[in-house]
Amino acid sequence: MGTGIVYLVGAGPGDPGLITLKGMECIEKADVIVYDRLASSLLLKNASSNAELIYVGKSPDRHALSQQEINQLLVEKAKLGKTVVRLKGGDPFVFGRGGEEALALFHNDIPFEIVPGVTSAVAAPAYAGIPVTHRTLASSFAVITGNEDPNKKDSSIKWDKIATGLDTVAFVMGMNNLPDICKKMMHYGRKGDTPVAVIEWGTTARQRALTGNLSNIAEKVKERDFKNPAVVVVGEVVGLRDQLKWIERKPLFGKKVLVTRSREQASELSRRILELGGEPVEFPTIEIREPDDYEALDNAIYNISDYKWVIFTSVNGVIYFINRTLMCGKDVRDLKGVSICAIGPKTKEALEKYALRVDYVPCEYRAEQIFEGLKDKLKPEDKVLLPRADIARKALPKALSKIGVQADEVVVYKTVPVAQDADKLVEMLKQGEIHILTFTSSSTVKNFVNLLRAQNLSEILENVTVASIGPVTSATAKELGINVDVEAKEYTIDGLVEAMIGK
């Protein structure tokens, strides 16, 4: 077995969208990912299902592993022939101890590559509306550690030079030493009224920003209880913040939104949340799988010309039906002469990707409205095919049977509960770390309740806004004791997002 390789990858400062293309490629091909506390967990969903994920996060009061242990871990995994990604917050070589890890790999003859990342020293101020340089205000910029190695005999920071020799100075991880930083800057000549900003958890939904000056910022930070991770920016550019604080104007800024959809479907909702300044927390309560038995579905596919209509009630239904059609040696040409109904615009889009023309989309995206729109287009003894989930509602086939139409339900996919530890989620809900809880189907509600198994669910969700994709989902939530605060007017992901914004 040959030696593997280690990629030291900068994950960026928190927003998963700030990962580089090369960094994402490394994550996707990794056998092992050794990741930090400050690397977004959303990046890990891009890893292979077979990848080994190892958390080595460090916080001020607790280290999962020491730096020496992390170095040894990288060496050991690479010697097993693995492709290893060391996923680090920010940039590996900007106060990320990436240099130490690279040297450990070099001394053990382990091949390695460095994949730079966006450093928080620039990104956090940018997300707070502070450019570190500006043509008329700042032509020089420096990044200084705010947490210099306490074991060093003498400080290597030239305070007499940086205090007045630079326009903008950014201190990284400087909360504990902020009073001393401000005193030294003023002692060596920087004016006490020099603008200062502190950005905590920059580029994430937890971002907070505070402004002041060198003479008062330390006291303000103490009053507001700002902690690391944080970036301190000293300089006249801080004065631009009121005009340029772009992300704070987004409608979901500062909100953590729980996404309960299946892992395969979560991306669309998570992307929309990120676009609007929020932070998605993915906690899938269901998983989409193939059906246990294909006999009924295959029979319908081979006899598709017998049907007057095929009614698709979800994007998943489309994908699984078409995939199975191809596996049976058939294709979309066999649907010629069969009318197609899609429950909503997203399902319609999914069908059109396969060059299938949709004949009917109801104005209200629910089974009852499908029946209302089709009942005059059908006559007794017509056959209708319903390729859907194993737990789909029976309202539509029952209504069709009442007018003499044969509605054949065939299972094209099934939804199963996801087995995972809910203790961490319960604690986040109790601590008020989740602001909005989203439900996109009745099954997500049912499995959420089953996973939590909490007797005091109403108490846990007391300060959480519950958002539902539509009346059927809302009814299920209410039956299970969950009060729905907002409901989408259009029963789509976009409609759900609009409802959250309007709250």
Domain boundaries, given as residue ranges, for the chain: 5-118, 122-249, 256-285+418-502, 289-416
Splitting the chain (503 residues) into consecutive groups of 10 residues, what average pLDDT does each group show? 91 94 98 93 91 84 80 96 96 94 97 97 98 96 84 80 96 94 96 98 94 98 95 98 96 94 83 93 89 94 94 92 95 92 91 94 79 85 90 84 90 85 86 94 90 81 94 93 93 92 79
CA distance 8 to 83: 11
Q: Could you tell me where the DSSP H helices lie in 59-111?
A: 67-79, 98-107
If 0-12 CB within 10 Å is exposed, 13-18 middle and 19+ buried, where does residue 225 land?
exposed
CA distance 411 to 364: 24
What's the topology of domain 256-285+418-502? Answer: Rossmann fold (3.40.50)
What confidence score (pLDDT) does residue 366 get?
A: 73
CA distance 267 to 155: 47
CATH number at 5-118: 3.40.1010.10
* Among candidate residues 242, 267, 269, 247, the one with its CA nearest the CA of residue 203: 247
Active site residues: 36, 58, 173
Neighbours of 75 (CB within 10 A): 19
Cβ neighbors of 273 (< 8 A, separation 6 or more) are: 252, 257, 259, 279, 280, 497
Is the distance from CB of 383 to CB of 403 less than 8 angstroms? Answer: no
pTM of the predicted structure, to 2 decimals: 0.83
Element (H, E) at 230: strand 230-234
Instruction: Please measure the distance between the N-terminal and C-terminal CA atoms of the chain and give it in whole angstroms.
Output: 57
CA distance 288 to 271: 20
CA distance 316 to 296: 18
What's the topology of domain 122-249? Answer: 3.30.950
Q: What is the DSSP string of 162-175?
A: HHHH-SEEEEES-S
Neighbours of 86 (CB within 10 A): 34
* 5-118 and 122-249 share one fold: no
* Among candidate residues 75, 125, 116, the one with its CA nearest the CA of residue 93: 116
CATH number at 289-416: 3.40.50.10090
Q: What is the DSSP string of 260-307?
A: -S-TTTHHHHHHHHHHTT-EEEE---EEEE--S--HHHHHHHHTGGG-
